[in-house]
Amino acid sequence: MNIGGYLGKILRVDLSKGSTSVEELDRSFIEKWVGGVGFGAKFLYDEVPPGVEWSDPENRMIWASGPLAGSGVYGAGTFCIVTKGPMTNIAGSSQANGYFGAYLKFSGYDAIIFQGKAPSLVYLVLREGKAEIRDAGFLARKGTGEMEDLLRKELAAGEKDVSIYGIGPGGESCVLFASIIGDRGHAAAHNGLGAVMGSKNLKAVVAYRGKRNFAIIDQERMKEKNEALFEIAKVAGPIYKWGTGGGFSFVYNGGALPVKNYTTNIYPEHERMGGQYMRTHFEIRNKPCYMCPVAHCKEVTVTEGPYKGFTAEEPEYEQLAAWGPQIGNTELGGVVVLANEVDNLGIDCNESGWVIGWVMECYEKGIFSKDDLDGIDMTWGNVEAVKAMLRKIAAREGIGDLLSQGVMRASRKIGGEAADCAIYTMKGCTPRGHDHRGGGRWAELIDTCLTNTSTLESIRGPLQPEIAGLPPVKDVFSHEEMSTVNAKLNGIAQFEDCLGICRLASPDPKLLLECLNAVTGWSLSFQDIFTIGRRVINQLRMFNFRHGMKKEDERPSKRYGSIPTDGPAAGRNIMEKWDYIVENHYRLMGWDIKTGKPLPETLKEMGLEDLIKDL
C-alpha cells in the first residue's frame, strides 16, 4: 500500500466463535476515515443496527490506532475505542495513551473489531501478525494492576515488552461506568467502555512490542515538524513542568473547580492540591508514554499525612478534582489513594466522583441514612468511606448496585430532592472534571450536552477561536459567543482523535497536520481537518438518532445547569437562553434547528450521501 503510516489490515475477533480473521482496508476507505475515531464511527454505523443494545453480543467494540501511532512522532502511542455504550445507550468514543496504539500496529494491525460474547472469560494476544484468544479464568475479579502483573508472568514478558489493556472487577460486574485501564494507569473511560468489554467476557488485550512495519513517506520532514511541535508543547501551559494538575489553582480562581457537588465554589485549600504542590512535596519519578519527551505522566510516592509511603500513578487534573474538592477532601495523599483505587477497580474517575459527591450531599441532607448506605459514614472528605463505597460499586453489592448505574439513573430512582442534586446531561453522560457553569467553561457545558461521542467532542483544552478564524473571546458568559465558538471549532478534536497521538504532545494542529502529511504522503489542507472531523461527527450523530437520541436529550440536569451562588460566576445563568444556544449551534453545524438532525446538504458536503436515506 503506497500510503505511509498504515498496514492496511483490520483484525476481526468473533468471541462467540472463538475465531479471528484479517480484512484488508482499501485506499479510499483509509483516506476518507483516516483512523481512530473515524474507523470506529464508520464500522459502528455499518455493523450495529437499531435495536442492538450495548450489552448485545452483536454490539461492536472497535479499537483503532492511527497513521501517526508508532511513526516516531512524539507521544504517538494513542488509540481510540468506539462502541455503543451503556451510560447514554448511544455512541461512545474514548482515547487512551501509553503504548498500545504503537504496539497494536507493530503487531500487524491498524484496528481490531470485537463482536460476539465468549462463553467464559478470555484475553487476546497480538504478536507479529498473529492473534490468539486464550483462557482468562485465572484473571477473574483481579484488579487491573494485578491483572497486568499476572499476564506478564504468564507470558514471561518484561514491563515494556507488552502493552496490556483490560478491565477490573467493575467491568466484569458490568458497572455502567466501567472503564478500560492499561499500561499502569491509562484509561479509556467514558460511556462505560469497560462494561461493554465485560459483557463480551473479554478481560484483556495484550499487544507485543516490535519494530516499525509500515512506511514513512518523508522521514526528514516528519522529524523537522515533530521537533517544532515538541518545542510548542513545552511552553503550552503548565503541563510540561507541573502536569495536568498544574492549572488547578487557575481553574479555582476562575470559578470552575467542582466543589461539593456544585453546592459552592469556595475551596481555600486549592494550593495544596495542585500539581505544583505535589511535585515539590511528594517523591516523583518519570513514567512517560511511548516516545514522549513531554513526559507529563509520573509515578508519585506520598511523603506526608496519613497515607505517607503510598506509591501510585500521579493523579491527573480530573482525578485531583474528583477526589479533592468534589467530595470535600483536603488530603492530597487521599487523592492519590482514591485515584489508584478507581483505576484498579476499573471504573471511570469522572462518573465515580459525581456519584460519590451526590451521595455525600444526600447523606448530609438526610436523604440517605447510614443504614441506607450499608453502614458507611459518607461525610464530606471521608477517604476511607469513599474507598469502601467504590468497592461496593465495583462489586454491585448492596447500595453499590444502585450506584453502579451512574448518577442519572440512581438519582431518578430515589427521586424528589435527590434527583435535583444530581449532575449529568439528559443523555446520561456526565461532565469532565470542572464546574462548567463558571471560569469560561460555558463552551464545555454546551459541548457536553450536544456531544455525539458521550464526552467532550469539540473543546480540546483552552479555547482557541483563532484556529477557526474567529476573534479572541470577549465574554465567556455570552450565550451567543460561547455557542458559536463551540460550533466553529468543532471538527479539530475529532480529526486529532483519528491520528493515534496524545493531544498534550501535539497542541498545534497546523504542525500536527504537517507531520501527518509527511508520514502519509498526503497533501491535506487545514480546511480538510474540519471536513474530516465533521464527517466523523455527522456519522456518529446519525448513529445516535437511529438508536433513539432526541433533541430533548441535549440539555443539562437541573443542578448541572443551575446558577452558581458564590465565587466568580455567582449569578450567571446559562439556562436563560438555552434554546437559543441549541438552535445557534444546530444552525452553524448544518443541522435542522427543529430536530437536530443533519440536513441532507450537510451530509452531502461531508461525503455522506449514503446516509441521507436514513434521515
Q: What's the mean pLDDT in 314-334?
A: 98
DSSP code per residue over 122-181:
EEEEEETTEEEEEE-GGGTT--HHHHHHHHHHHHT--TTTEEEEE--HHHHTT-TTB-EE
Q: For cell 508472568, what's the residue?
A: 153
CA distance linking residue 349 with residue 573, whole number of Å = 28
CA distance linking residue 365 with residue 217, whole number of Å = 63
CA 308 to chain centre: 30
- Let me know if 145 is exposed, middle or buried by CB neighbors in 10 A (0-12, 13-18, 19+): middle
CA distance linking residue 514 with residue 524, whole number of Å = 9
Q: What's the mean pLDDT in 454-460?
A: 95
Q: What's the mean pLDDT in 42-59?
A: 98
Beta-sheet strand order (sheet of 186-188): 130-135, 122-127, 202-208, 162-166, 180-182, 186-188
- Name the class of domain 9-208: alpha beta
Q: What is the pLDDT of residue 150?
A: 98
pLDDT in tens, 93-150: 999 999 999 999 999 999 999 999 999 999 999 999 999 999 999 999 999 999 999 9
Q: Is the pLDDT of residue 2 over 80?
A: no
Helix 526-546 and helix 509-520, axial crossing angle in degrees, nearest 10: 90
Q: How confident is the model at residue 382 (pLDDT cuts 50, 70, 90)?
A: very high
Q: How far apart are the first and last CA of the chain?
A: 35
Angle 502-75-184 from CA coordinates, rounded to 5°: 85
Q: Which contacts (CB < 8 Å, 24+ apart) does range 156-164 have?
A: 157/208, 160/99, 160/209, 161/208, 161/209, 162/103, 162/206, 162/207, 162/208, 162/209, 163/77, 163/98, 163/99, 163/100, 163/102, 163/103, 163/104, 163/206, 163/207, 163/209, 164/204, 164/205, 164/206
CATH architecture of 243-420: Orthogonal Bundle (1.10)
* % the chain with pLDDT above 70: 100
Please, where in the chain does CATH 3.60.9.10 lie?
9-208
Run of H or E residues at 389: helix 383-395
pLDDT in tens, 533-562: 999 999 999 999 999 999 999 999 999 999
CA distance linking residue 389 with residue 465, whole number of Å = 42
Is 529 in contact with 495 (CB distance < 8 Å)? Answer: yes
pLDDT in tens, 577-606: 999 999 999 999 999 999 999 999 999 999
pLDDT in tens, 251-276: 999 999 999 999 999 999 999 999 99
CA distance linking residue 609 with residue 615, whole number of Å = 11
Provide Rg for the chain, Cα atoms.
22
Run of H or E residues at 64: strand 61-64
Is 99 in contact with 110 (CB distance < 8 Å)? Answer: no
CA distance linking residue 82 with residue 412, whole number of Å = 27
CA nearest to 202, candidates 89, 63, 42: 63
Task: Count other C-beta atoms under 10 Å from residue 537's C-beta.
Answer: 24
pLDDT in tens, 213-251: 999 999 999 999 999 999 999 998 899 999 999 999 999
* Residue 8, C-beta contacts closer than 8 angstroms, at least 6 positions apart: 1, 24, 25, 30, 110
Q: What is the pLDDT of residue 128?
A: 96
Task: At 525, list the grid cell.
Answer: 489542507
CA nearest to 167, candidates 192, 123, 206, 198: 198
Q: Is the pLDDT of residue 78 over 90?
A: yes
Q: What is the pLDDT of residue 236?
A: 86
Please, where in the chain does CATH 1.10.569.10 lie?
243-420
Please, where in the chain does CATH 1.10.599.10 lie?
442-614
Averaged pLDDT score across all residues of the chain: 97
Is 122 in contact with 135 (CB distance < 8 Å)? Answer: yes
Q: What is the pLDDT of residue 1?
A: 62
Q: How confident is the model at residue 372 (pLDDT cuts 50, 70, 90)?
A: very high
Q: Is the pLDDT of residue 33 over 80?
A: yes
Q: What is the pLDDT of residue 254?
A: 94
Task: Count other C-beta atoms under 10 Å from residue 158's C-beta.
Answer: 9
pLDDT in tens, 272-291: 999 999 999 999 999 999 99
CA distance linking residue 377 with residue 353, whole number of Å = 17
CATH architecture of 442-614: Orthogonal Bundle (1.10)
* Residue 611, C-beta contacts closer than 8 angstroms, at least 6 positions apart: 45, 538, 539, 542, 598, 603
CA distance linking residue 211 with residue 229, whole number of Å = 24
Q: What is the pLDDT of residue 462?
A: 86
pLDDT in tens, 181-192: 999 999 999 999
* Residue 114, C-beta contacts closer than 8 angstroms, at least 6 positions apart: 13, 15, 60, 61, 62, 63, 197, 200, 202
Give me the amino acid identity at 576.
E
Q: How confident is the model at residue 439 (pLDDT cuts 50, 70, 90)?
A: confident
